[in-house]
Structure 1
Amino acid sequence: MVAFDIRIIRINSKRSIYRIELDGQMSLDDLKRIVEKRTSIYDKYQTILHNGKLIPTGRLLTIEPDDKVQVLVHHVQDQCQLSSSKQHSIFKIWGKFVRLFQLARGARRAEDPKSQTILLNDELVDTERFLTIKRGDKIEVEHSMLKIWDKFMRLFQLAQEARSADDYASELQNALLAQEQLTILSNSNFFYTFHHLLSFRGDFRNKYSCFGESEFQYILTAWNHFCSTRNVNYPDSVQFRFESFQNRRRGIRDGLRILERQSGVLIKTYDIKVHTRFAEKHGEGSADLRVLFMHKLMEILGIGPKVHFLSCTDHSGFGLYIAAEDLSSCVVDESSVSREGKDRVKIVSLCCFLRDIAKKANYGVDSQGNFIILDFEIREQTSYMFNSFLHLVGAESRNMAKKFLENLDIANSIDKAKIEIEEQRKLLEEHGITQRAEHDFDEYLAKIEDNFQRRERQKYLDKRRLDLAHTLIRLGLVHCSESEGNQLYIIINMLMSFNLRMLSE
């Protein structure tokens, strides 16, 4: 067992700057175990005494100037003695030092000396020459990314100050610049070294995580194009603010929220989700016209939010986004939707081959008390499920849900939605974006129209059943009052078990 004495001239852990004097020869690997947080992997290699006292493993070692540290090495691997008689290439020395202080993780490459600043006795080291380290020399290693970190923190602070002053243009500009700096730091694994700074990164992401998405700039371009085509002259007091919102794996509520304010008062919100990513490789399967159609159809029928289709186009790609208005005022808790509303969800989902809308937060009521469907997925299913629901008689809420479907202006609404979708189809085809074979829009539309027509036929058959039930009562074949609704439902159920055509003949 060999003992070494090391005297620490200065340690500034916040800036990760180390000034070290070697009073004896030792390996750099041993030095690493002094200045960084130790883990159990090193326990079998060393015993550390601080001012003559045993240091428990697994805790941070705080070293003050003039403190005496003894490292009792039980097993030393890959030793590199620093002495006056030994010369080392700067690249070799650099590789050792970055492993000592974990600085390489914050650089472009562990072997790249340009990623850090190395001072020998307060003089900048020439990376093209050999480095001779003598006993008692002072070596300073400073992380080059710290300048980028300082710039990030300065921009982050400016963005927050702009937010407090309701200066959304400055907030957006500074947040975007701060995100650029944060991306550089993250890509270089800066936070592996400075893990104590992760809280600042987390705070920034909580407030501006949307700016970190690769699609954000394309959404911003699409939004600006959308505003320019609305032919609306916004007064100077109108400002748009961009922020992230509740993250979910799917749905309108996973994306970007834009707040439209006038004189500090919130006027309208737009929740935007990505349909076709600009940054992705386009081609077959990139778009689904069925989804666009259903969003527009629900808007026209009054059972969905008002939606806009935003596009970002240039010579290199195409991005398509769905923006829904004023979802922030929608109440989506379980108690806000009645049994009738839930049956409306069921009948719409079966009629239009939808799924995922029965999940909490995908349907609810808006600020005016209107039932709306916020989001959905499309699935293939047979029509018998829809037929089964139509034939269920006796549940008052289901009868009301079927009447709700009857009152919808289906035919005209489908025609209006088709016009909107044809425009999107042409736009997608211009940019070479097609659908998967199993996502055939025309086939899907034909199935929906057939379901709605089936409901009209069912409405006619229900009327015949009711007329026949009244006839049976009047003829005395069934003894009950016509006003006894429950008994009448029983008769209708009984008639449904027979062949209606044979009875009517």
Structure 2
Amino acid sequence: MVKITIRLVGEDNDKVFKRIELDPQIHVDDLVKKIESVTNIPPEFQQIKFRGDELPDVERPLQDIKFGEELVVSHSSLPQWNVFLIASNIPPHIPHETKKKQVNEASNILLRLYKDGFFATYADFAIRRIKFNREFSRILDDYDESIKRAIERYFTALLEKNPANPTLTFRYSEKPVKGIQAGFVCTVDCGQTAQRYFVKGHSGMSSRQNVDLREIFVYRLLFHIGVGPPVHIVPNCHTSAIAVYIATLEVANFNSSHNTKLPLKAEIMLDLIKSRMFSDRAETWL
């Protein structure tokens, strides 16, 4: 056994892990697992140099390594990070649609980096990622792709723990009735069952600064008293103080009041409820 140094490069300052013990006869499969345990770089994204050259592609590449020698390691997605830094340098005074396009391109790069485990390796870069997400959260909050990412992450974490759900697939379609808020219909297919959810943005309007707890309370209240469908309050995938998404399970044979002829008494009651719900005095009513 010898003790070596693993040097992680890529950030402004290298991270040096000293006195890492290993057997010079270590198999390459065990070596990449060892490097992963130290640097958090998944084996498929490891770039390893030994004595200034790429690690030889052999079964036991470190047979002649000496005490105190270094392995220099980096994440193979570093070039994509540099592309993000360029893409995220968005001038403030450009047309809104152009800004949306650039923000989305930069956000897609961040998503790939996140999936590759990049920020688990380079925690210092996560600060730049958080700053970007906060700066452009109002654009990202109501972007369909952002909502889909949040929905998929949420339901994957919720449902894949169940052994009966080995794989999940997601399908999307337009809402039957267009509204002011972004959203769509999402079908979550667990293999044996498929459930349809109506998904919409919440608190994405410019007049709001925080999540509206009154609206969330009403959704949960209606479900618990047996009037409303099951509802999921889904956090977004980026750092934002103003947005969550609401996913309500489709109700079989449901007819909207817009498409149903109600008795006069029911219409009066519905109008009363609406006026209470959207009144400026709703805080005191709730």
TM-score (norm 1): 0.32
* Alpha-carbon separation, structure 2, partners of 1:5 and 1:284: 54
Q: How far apart are 1:152 and its partner, in Å?
A: 1.6
- The one-letter amino acid of 2:102's match is N
Residues 360-379 of structure 1 aligned to structure 2 (within 5 Å)? none
Q: Is the 8 A contact 2:9 2:74 kept in 1?
A: no
The equivalent position to 1:451 in structure 2, one of 266, 271, 281, is 266
Residues 5-404 of structure 1 aligned to structure 2 (within 5 Å)? 14=11, 17=14, 30-31=19-20, 80-81=22-23, 86-100=24-38, 102-104=39-41, 107=42, 112=43, 114-131=44-61, 132-135=63-66, 137-157=69-89, 160-161=90-91, 164-209=92-137, 216-217=144-145, 272-274=181-183, 276-278=184-186, 280=188, 286=197, 328=206, 359=214
- The one-letter amino acid of 1:116's match is Q
Structure 2 runs not aligned, ≥5 long: 148-178, 226-248, 270-286
Structure 1 runs not aligned, ≥5 long: 21-27, 32-78, 220-269, 288-319, 333-356, 363-375, 382-432, 455-505
Deviations 1:10-66 (A, max 9, x none): 77672575678xxxxxxx7x43xxxxxxxxxxxxxxxxxxxxxxxxxxxxxxxxxxx
Q: How far apart are 1:87 and its partner, in Å?
A: 2.5
Q: How far apart are 1:448 and its partner, in Å?
A: 5.6
- The one-letter amino acid of 1:80's match is L
Q: How far apart are 1:443 and its partner, in Å?
A: 11
Q: 1:122 to 1:173 in 2, by over 3 A?
A: same
Q: How far apart are 1:116 and its partner, in Å?
A: 1.4
What RMSD over aligned residues (CA atoms) do the two structures have, in Å? Answer: 5.0
Q: 1:279 to 1:128 in 2, by over 3 A?
A: farther
- The one-letter amino acid of 1:139's match is L
Partner SS for 1:117:
strand
Q: Kindly indicate whether residue 252 of structure 2 is the aligned counterpart of residue 436 of structure 1.
A: yes
* Alpha-carbon separation, structure 2, partners of 1:90 and 1:358: 53
- The one-letter amino acid of 2:27's match is S
Partner SS for 2:265:
helix
Taking only the aligned residue pairs, the percentage that are identical comes to: 13
Q: 1:172 to 1:128 in 2, by over 3 A?
A: farther
* Alpha-carbon separation, structure 2, partners of 1:150 and 1:213: 24
When Rg is computed on C-alpha atoms for both structures, the one with the higher figure is 1
Q: 1:5 to 1:445 in 2, by over 3 A?
A: closer
If asked which structure has higher relative contact order (CA below 8 Å, sep 6+), I would say 2
Q: Is the 8 A contact 1:117 1:144 kept in 2?
A: yes
* Alpha-carbon separation, structure 1, partners of 2:180 and 2:32: 50
Q: 1:10 to 1:446 in 2, by over 3 A?
A: closer
* Alpha-carbon separation, structure 2, partners of 1:179 and 1:321: 20
Q: How far apart are 1:182 and its partner, in Å?
A: 0.8
Q: How far apart are 1:121 and its partner, in Å?
A: 0.8
Q: 1:137 to 1:286 in 2, by over 3 A?
A: closer
- The one-letter amino acid of 2:34's match is K
Partner SS for 1:201:
helix
Cross-structure match for 1:295: none
Q: 1:443 to 1:181 in 2, by over 3 A?
A: closer
* Alpha-carbon separation, structure 2, partners of 1:322 and 1:80: 51
Deviations 1:250-309 (A, max 9, x none): xxxxxxxxxxxxxxxxxxxx95243x434656987646xxxxxxxxxxxxxxxxxxxxxx
- The one-letter amino acid of 2:51's match is N
Cross-structure match for 1:492: none
Residues paired across the two proteins, number? 205
Deviations 1:359-379 (A, max 9, x none): 4xx7xxxxxxxxxxxxx7695
Q: Is the 8 A contact 1:11 1:17 kept in 2?
A: yes
Q: 1:200 to 1:447 in 2, by over 3 A?
A: same
> Comparing both structures, which one devotes a greater share of its residues to helix?
1
Q: How far apart are 1:172 and its partner, in Å?
A: 2.1
Partner SS for 2:48:
strand
Q: 1:173 to 1:285 in 2, by over 3 A?
A: closer
* Alpha-carbon separation, structure 2, partners of 1:443 and 1:170: 37
